[in-house]
Homo-oligomer: A and B are copies of this chain.
Amino acid sequence: MNSKQKDIRLVVVGSIGIDTIETPCTKRESILGGSASFACAAASFFSGVGLVGVVGTDFPESHRQLYQKFGIDLAGLQTVRGETFRWSGVYEHNMDNRRTLSTELNVFASFSPEIPPSYRKCPFLFLGNISPGLQEHVLNQMEATKFVLLDTMDLWINIARDDLLRVIKRVDMLTVNESEARLLTGEHGLIKAAQKLLTMGPKHILVKKGEHGSMLFYGDRIFLLPAFPLESVQDPTGAGDTFAGGLMGALASLGEVTEESIRKAMLYGNILASFGVEEFSLDRLARLDRPAIEDRAQLFRKMAMPA
């Protein structure tokens, strides 16, 4: 929760959704979701952040107020006549499998992200998972980026590979899960896949492995980060976006982009994601503060410090 005004050093572009989510224990209807929501909320603990996205006229005022409570700048939030993007899904088999029940693009179908003039010189940019064409459109509007993180999904790899490869070439870090890494490169082995991705443009490849942690590939080096062990996960939706948002927010706040600051930012992304999945939607993040983040980061360092 970012109560003090901070300079906007990070721009986040992505989806804003109204989600209905079923887990083995609970069903929650019409809760705030979308990659931009999770990423902005996580980033807000570290840096001023501006959200670029679209909602319909049905978007509840309470959700908008929640964004504001996080201190998220909404100059780039478009409100368009019609309904907000809606997604519903169910987590099956002890949360191991997610199945989409429905996707209604609504106003998201004709989304064209416009970067407010005040954001265009921002040094940090997170291109959340939207079509590569739109990601490229955003990149073209930015004038002085220092570090761009790109997320994507199997859909775009399958139907818009050329567009995607063009955007990948222009970013500093690409984040993928294991199956996306394989799909993009045709390599089954994760190291070979990551090495191939490193030849496609980005200097850093972040591989997310969910509860098994994450790996950063850069140059000929690898950074290994286990996930923070959790007693119970309520809702894994948005974990990757929360990770990415926490990482980018922390990196923006650290200023210099170095091996050290990237590893530190990644640790914070990891910690933010661990909080996010403890409850549905942004519920846990909305009750979070910086001291709780630092406490868990410190606890994690003790757990993960090699002897």
- A: residues with CB less than 8 A from B are 94, 188-192, 209, 212-213, 215, 221-226, 229-232, 260, 263-264, 266-267, 300-307
Contact = CB atoms under 8 A, between A and B. Distances in A.
Most buried by B among A192, A209, A212, A266: A212
Number of copies of this chain in the oligomer? Answer: 2
A230 B260 contact: no
Contact of A229 (B212, B224, B264): B224
Contacts of A231: 189, 191-192
Q: Is the interface of A mostly helix, strand, loop or mixed?
A: mixed
10 contacts: A189-B232, A192-B231, A221-B303, A222-B303, A224-B229, A225-B226, A226-B226, A266-B307, A267-B306, A267-B307
Contact of A188 (B94, B213, B229, B264): B94
Given A189-B232, A224-B226, A224-B304, 19 more contacts: A94-B188, A191-B229, A191-B231, A192-B231, A209-B212, A215-B229, A221-B303, A222-B229, A224-B229, A224-B303, A225-B226, A225-B306, A260-B307, A263-B306, A264-B307, A301-B306, A304-B306, A305-B305, A305-B306
